[in-house]
Amino acid sequence: DIQMTQSPSSLSASVGDRVTITCRASQSISSHLNWYQQKPGKAPKLLIYAASSLQSGVPLRFSGSGSGTEFTLTISSLQREDFATYYCQQSYTAYTFGQGTKLEIK
Partner 1 sequence: EVQLVESGGGLIQPGGSLRLSCAASGLTVSSSYMSWVRQAPGKGLERVSITYSDGTTFYADSVKGRFTISRDNSKNTLYLQMNSLRAEDTAVYYCARDRNTKIAVAEYWYFDLWGRGTLVTVSS
Positions touching partner 1 (CB under 8 A) are 30-32, 34, 36, 42-46, 49-50, 53, 55, 87, 89, 91, 94-95, 97-100
Closer residue to partner 1 in complex, CB, 8/15: 8
CB of 85 to partner 1, least distance (A): 9
**Nearest Cα residue to 13 out of 99, 74, 64:** 74
Nearer to partner 1, 49 or 71 (CB): 49
Task: Tell me if 75 sits within 8 A of 62, measured CB to CB.
Answer: yes
